[in-house]
A = this chain, B = another copy of it.
């Protein structure tokens, strides 16, 4: 295939926002098997319910046979949509009907589709600051004007939310939130904060997109209702996924869309994007999830293991982080967030850490506006306790070295 011809491709304006990340390139070097990585957001592969999924796949192919391999409806597999409703009613007190469920190819696609039907170039999207990188990428692809709202250890700051809304030159199109164990900080919103945010959004006429990938992974504290389920809430789209409680490789997630008018826009958007989510993986997820007790027993295993890993990381941080570092204490999820002294740039730290075969994600790309260079995200679900302790020890070493001679490790 000729590749030397002068290119006649002229790119769309949105591609200026879709840049390959410098950090991603550095992190590629850390994917070697002997590196202890806190960088990804990966579930623990050794805990995947492989045999139960093999059984579910077997069932699908022996019972559904050809219908598991054919094209299917854009909305999703009806029994799975029914199961999602039952699951959400139990798990987050969210009452909805199968007609309000759209199955997506992972919750990244849920974010993409909501942005696709709501966002024109320049439209304002409000996010917690720092915010989930995948959401920022999805909004950037539609040339949104993403505006960060201050957040603290109870989630988005409602005073700052009011201030930001008042200062916006036009009404924001969307408020995007991860209320449970946020990515990247691990912080959860209190019930009070959820209610207050719901009230502000309703008053101001701003729809909410509530992203809840980690809600079932709670290791401490008490369950909180979804914002979508609160009486104060108006116009909230909710998204959840099988990725963190079953297996991300299936790419099966869901949108709960209360309003028919919005749902009816999302269907042709999904059709234009990829027709429908895999018939086969939707049926496997459903056959796995519907067996009484199986998913709950699996979640229990995840909780026990991830809780121990979180604890190991928190203990090691206390032991090895030099003075001037602070970090969040998440009640669940996969991540915690570290702030190092302002004199240290975590991109330099990543280079020093890589030399010691330990990796993390520098916080800078999660920040919207401003130039915060002294934060980092640590994942604790994808390494054993032993590796976590060793990795944090090495990270402490790298930090200590950098604090002494910041220039020496720059490459």
Q: Which residues of A contact B (CB under 8 A)?
A: 1-3, 5-15, 18-20, 40-43, 45-46, 48, 50, 53-54, 57-58, 61-62, 65-72, 94-96, 100, 104-106, 108-109, 112, 116-120, 123, 134, 137-138, 140-142, 173, 202, 205-207, 228-229, 233-235, 243, 247-251, 256, 258-262, 264-265, 267-269, 271-281, 284
The answer to whether B71 and A272 touch across the interface, beta carbons within 8 angstroms, is no
Which chain B residues lie closer than 8 Å to A280 at the CB level? 247, 249-250, 281, 284
- CB-CB under 8 A for A272 and B18, given A100-B1, A173-B10, A278-B250: yes
* Distance (whole angstroms) from the CB of A381 to the closest CB of chain B: 12
Cα–Cα, bound, A118→B8 (Å):
11
* Distance (whole angstroms) from the CB of A243 to the closest CB of chain B: 8
Which chain B residues lie closer than 8 Å to A109 at the CB level? 273-274
Q: Can you name the residue of chain B whose Cβ is closest to the Cβ of A253? A: B274
- CB-CB under 8 A for A273 and B95, given A117-B18, A120-B12, A249-B70: no
Known: A9-B262, A20-B268, A70-B248. 7 other contacts (CB 8 A): A1-B228, A3-B260, A5-B234, A14-B117, A57-B58, A69-B248, A71-B248
Q: Can you name the residue of chain B whose Cβ is closest to the Cβ of A204? A: B8
For A2, A61, A206, A260, which residue has the most chain B Cβ atoms within 10 angstroms? A2
* Distance (whole angstroms) from the CB of A195 to the closest CB of chain B: 14
Cα–Cα, bound, A244→B53 (Å):
26
- CB-CB under 8 A for A2 and B117, given A11-B265, A54-B61, A272-B140: no
The answer to whether A70 and B50 touch across the interface, beta carbons within 8 angstroms, is no
The answer to whether A54 and B62 touch across the interface, beta carbons within 8 angstroms, is yes
Of the A-B pairs whose beta carbons lie under 8 Å apart in the complex, a sample of 28, sorted by A's number, is: A1-B256, A3-B258, A7-B259, A9-B262, A10-B118, A10-B173, A12-B118, A12-B123, A14-B120, A18-B117, A18-B269, A40-B71, A42-B70, A42-B71, A48-B66, A48-B69, A50-B66, A69-B248, A69-B249, A70-B248, A70-B249, A71-B243, A134-B275, A141-B269, A249-B280, A250-B278, A250-B279, A250-B280
Which chain B residues lie closer than 8 Å to A284 at the CB level? 280
The answer to whether A45 and B19 touch across the interface, beta carbons within 8 angstroms, is no
Kindly report how many copies of this chain are found in the complex they form together.
Answer: 2
Which chain B residues lie closer than 8 Å to A279 at the CB level? 248-251
* Distance (whole angstroms) from the CB of A150 to the closest CB of chain B: 23
The answer to whether A108 and B235 touch across the interface, beta carbons within 8 angstroms, is no
CB contact between A13 and one of B5, B106, B120, B261 (< 8 Å): that residue: B120
Q: Can you name the residue of chain B whose Cβ is closest to the Cβ of A69? A: B247
Cα–Cα, bound, A254→B334 (Å):
32
CB contact between A2 and one of B14, B45, B258 (< 8 Å): that residue: B258
Which chain B residues lie closer than 8 Å to A13 at the CB level? 120
Cα–Cα, bound, A228→B2 (Å):
9
CB contact between A117 and one of B15, B206, B256 (< 8 Å): that residue: B15
The answer to whether A118 and B9 touch across the interface, beta carbons within 8 angstroms, is yes
Q: Can you name the residue of chain B whose Cβ is closest to the Cβ of A206? A: B8
The answer to whether B138 and A272 touch across the interface, beta carbons within 8 angstroms, is yes
* Distance (whole angstroms) from the CB of A229 to the closest CB of chain B: 7
- CB-CB under 8 A for A258 and B1, given A15-B117, A19-B268: yes
* Distance (whole angstroms) from the CB of A176 to the closest CB of chain B: 14
Cα–Cα, bound, A14→B269 (Å):
10
The answer to whether A12 and B141 touch across the interface, beta carbons within 8 angstroms, is no
The answer to whether A267 and B20 touch across the interface, beta carbons within 8 angstroms, is yes
Q: Can you name the residue of chain B whose Cβ is closest to the Cβ of A238? A: B1
The answer to whether A117 and B273 touch across the interface, beta carbons within 8 angstroms, is no
